[in-house]
Structure 1
């Protein structure tokens, strides 16, 4: 059973919402675009690996985007899978081209045909996640549960090379398609060796209760203030900010696209980047100085809840 599905990470949601709403000359915009590209690549890789792990959903308990705390330190796990006798940590990596693991220097390099770049060493990263999860389990009197950690290479076309001990890397690194069989084999092996049968669903629910959501402070990271966010409804076709309100919808003066619901994305951007609630007045301004009556009709059909005490609209 999948207890927690994967959604687009909140930091990526914020970047995708903020980038089209900042002035072209905004100082941190190039860095934000670069970070958004990297995060999107990582998210896409996680979803590719999810495709293969879905085959195990009827057998085991799966949690995605696990975010827990160990001794005041937060740690993330791409996928936590609770099988019959063990917990498996799967860390997804999405690299293009050729990657080389140097087992002596504990370094990973990637050559995509244009540039060679260095990255954090995935086996060390996933071992750190394992260490923190074992500590977390021990604090919940579950230290007896075996934890195994692996690195999944999301793109099947990625060429994996090793400079040093190939066997060391082969034990923990594999392409995503090979992960389900590896998990079932390892779990059966643990059972044959006498490991106790786990109450996977109950353990999964326990982990889920303490799961948080990773977020970023846009001001601290990029210097983005709410006042930097530019208003306007963005055209879903050409990306122009500033669609005009026309009868029963929105019209783009650039590409002539018509949309009935383009304002929903604008409202979502406001709640994500500016404030977690929106008043009629702020909504009218942010959507492009529309009338009070139109604003009220839009908010009433937006799916938001009206807070009578503060006279504003919020998410459920």
Structure 2
């Protein structure tokens, strides 16, 4: 059973919202676009691996995108699969080309035929996750639970090479499609060894109750201020910013088409990038409206809640 499903990461969503609202001359714009590309590739890889791990849903309690606070540190795990006798951690990696694990230097490199680049060694990363999760379990009176981990390579065309201990890497690293069988093989091994069964669902619910949401201050990282976020409703088709409000809809002069709910994305951008509440005046500015009554009607119809004491609107869904 999958009791926690993956959603698009907040840093990725923030980048998607911020980039179209920045001046083309913004100093960090190219770096933000590159970051967006990398985060999309990582997220896409996680979804690819999720597809294969779905085969375990009838025998495991699965939590996607686990984010816990342990001993003053944050631990983020792509997927945990609580099986019959142990917990399995899966880290999805979306590399293209050829990757090489060096077991002596604890180093991972990738080559696309032109450029060779180094990355954080995934097994060290997973060892730290295992250590912190083990501590978390002990703090919740759950001791002696076996924890295993795997690196799931999302792209089946990625070539995996090893310098050093090939057998060691083979125990932990495989393409995403092979991971479910590795987990079930380990579970059968534990059953033969007499390892007692886990209350896998109950443990999963305990983890779920303390799961947070990973976030990153993208604005601070790239020096984006609220003044840098340009106003205007963006056309959902061509991306033109500043489409005009006409007759209860939004008219794009480029597409020559009318959209009735284009303002919802603009409001979502506002709450994500500018403030966690909005006034009628700010709504007029950000949606580029000339009528206060129109702004009020839009805010009411958008599922917002008016806080009379503060004379502003909040979007509780966010």
Report the counterpart of residue 308 of structure 1 in structure 2.
Answer: 308
**C-alpha distance in 1 between matches for 2:15 and 2:314:** 21
Q: Could you tell me how far apart the structure 2 residues matched to 1:39 and 1:290 are? A: 38
Q: TM-score, normalised by structure 2?
A: 0.96
Give 2:284's aligned residue.
284
Aligned pairs for 1:193-272 within 5 A = 193-272=193-272
| 1:93-126 Cα distance to aligned partner (Å, 9 max, x none) | 0011111111121111111233211111111111
Secondary structure at 2:85's aligned position in 1?
coil
Q: CA deviation at 1:304?
A: 2.1
SS in 2 for 1:258: strand
Question: Is the Cα contact below 8 Å between 1:94 and 1:153 reproduced in 2?
Answer: yes
Q: CA deviation at 1:290?
A: 3.8
**Deviation for aligned residue 1:309:** 2.0
Secondary structure of 1:167's partner?
A: helix
Unaligned 5+ segments in structure 2 are: none
Where do residues 95-106 of structure 1 align in structure 2 (5 Å cutoff)?
Answer: 95-106=95-106
Structure 1 gap ranges (5+): none
> What is the aligned length?
316
Q: Distance in 2 between matches of 1:118 and 1:212?
A: 30
Contact between 2:240 and 2:254, CA under 8 Å: does it hold in 1?
Answer: yes
Offset at 1:2? 1.2
Q: Deviations over 1:159-189 (max 9, x none)?
A: 1111221111101000000111111121122
Moved over 6 A (4+): none
In structure 1, C-alpha distance between the alignment counterparts of 2:255 and 2:221, rounded to whole Å: 35
Per-residue CA shift, 1:223-266, capped at 9, x if unaligned?
11112111001111111111111223111122323211111100
RMSD, aligned CA = 1.3
Contact 2:97 2:112 in 1 (8 A): yes
Partner residue of 2:172?
A: 172
